[in-house]
Structure 1
């Protein structure tokens, strides 16, 4: 194994016109990726990074690898994980949100290759809202202890905001409808870069 590297964080301005140079890996869920991604980005969700390690290592040996997510938090986590394995990467500060805010275009595939057309944020809002509502209704109709469900979800949302992480998104990201339609094809494309 190679020595660990410190992942670089690059601004939108530093990426600028060099976007065609690095292999761009979007670590969001397929639904988020389909809602808009950097031109040429390949979708390898964060929880599949270890599975794709040989291909990412090979891409890093051939050139630069840029990791991207919505805000930069998940791509930084992916960068640290890859750095522990001796793979040199960079992340885009502010992610696709910063990219779009700077006036750059996002690609949106005409036909979504994922089984979920909902963004992860929308899925989390639906799940959290449903669980809070269920806790309230069950607490009123069945037993007051069910209100602890609503309190637990509220605490989780506060923790999520404070840490810029989301355990619910991590769980939802593992569901079949949030999996890439063909991860093997994505890894083959990464090998070709």
Structure 2
């Protein structure tokens, strides 16, 4: 009679099944979780609902980790297997299934929020709508406390029409800049502002306008330059590319403008902090940096650039059709005193 072989697969997976069962039984209520969030210890609070559900309302520090992408993203968000993890859902059992999956990947400290997001709200705690709530809150707090100056899309257009010298920089990544940006903007991520901005500024009088897709990164970029002591006027563009587009202005796609490859030392913060009574003459090395850069006036745009049509339901919408106007039509020749002009 043939001897039956032991089930090797069952023996191999048995420890993980024990962990999974253990993860299913561990739970915490909303009040206790609030205490964990304030105890100063590392904690990963994962919302395993899908992105749409997460955006409708979640605890302030919850990080989206949709169940459909659990195995793909969890190692990036929680690289330590001993990390303290709390899972929340809509009280529909998704968190239990996610806990079993994490136990199979050897995560050892997984806890469930009893009742999920509805229980959190029932305990009197707020559910926040949207995404990236902590970083957006930080941006709003900075603007409120530091009184970061800003301007609207209409004010930016008016300043460009008047011939005021402006340098418009996009504080997002170059990849985001290429997808869509405000015409004549240079890609200069916030992390590079202090190092690279000196290569684009022609003088200490040109106004610097920082924009992003919404508000947060423009506020942080503008306030960073102000805190560093940049002598130029610095403004954040209110609502970024979204506000620009909704105001009836066209966006540029495929832009290749960015800071020059070669950089020079950014010594302008020292000049900005010169001693009281320092000479204010244009050539004074302590008051005004002497640069020969042409500023943000650009050469002809590459053929991959185009201008997208603004929304047609806007009262100020223009009839510019997508692809009919080259991006360079928004920029004046390098000899002009103003960097950009509004579209005809």
Alignment TM-score, normalising by the size of structure 2: 0.31
| 1:24-103 map, 5 Å | 24-55=168-199, 58-59=201-202, 61-87=204-230, 88-103=233-248
The one-character-per-residue Cα deviations of 1:147-183 (angstroms, maximum 9, x if unpaired) are xxxxxxxxxxxxxxxxxxxxxxxxxxxxxxxxx9x74
- The change in CA–CA distance for 1:93 and 1:59 in structure 2 (over 3 A counts) is farther
User: Counterparts of 1:106 and 1:186 in 2: how far apart (Å)?
Assistant: 28
Unaligned regions of 5+ residues in structure 1, if any?
A: 114-179
Which residue does the alignment assign to 2:149?
8
**8 A Cα contact 2:196 2:259, kept in partner:** no
Residue 50 of structure 1, CA deviation: 1.9
- The change in CA–CA distance for 1:46 and 1:14 in structure 2 (over 3 A counts) is same
Partner-residue secondary structure (3-state), 2:183: coil
Residue 97 of structure 1, CA deviation: 0.6
Unaligned regions of 5+ residues in structure 2, if any?
A: 1-145, 265-291, 296-344
Residue 85 of structure 1, CA deviation: 1.4
Does residue 104 of the first structure (1) align with residue 206 of the second (2)? no
Count of residue correspondences: 118
Does residue 184 of the first structure (1) align with residue 286 of the second (2)? no
Residue 103 of structure 1, CA deviation: 1.0
Alignment TM-score, normalising by the size of structure 1: 0.53
Superposition CA RMSD, Å = 2.9
User: Counterparts of 2:225 and 2:219 in 1: how far apart (Å)?
Assistant: 10
User: Counterparts of 1:192 and 1:6 in 2: how far apart (Å)?
Assistant: 31
Where does structure 1 differ by over 4 angstroms across 4 or more consecutive aligned residues?
A: 185-188
Q: Please state which structure has a larger fraction of its residues in helix.
A: 1
Partner-residue secondary structure (3-state), 1:61: coil
Residue 84 of structure 1, CA deviation: 0.9
**8 A Cα contact 1:10 1:90, kept in partner:** yes
User: Counterparts of 2:294 and 2:171 in 1: how far apart (Å)?
Assistant: 19
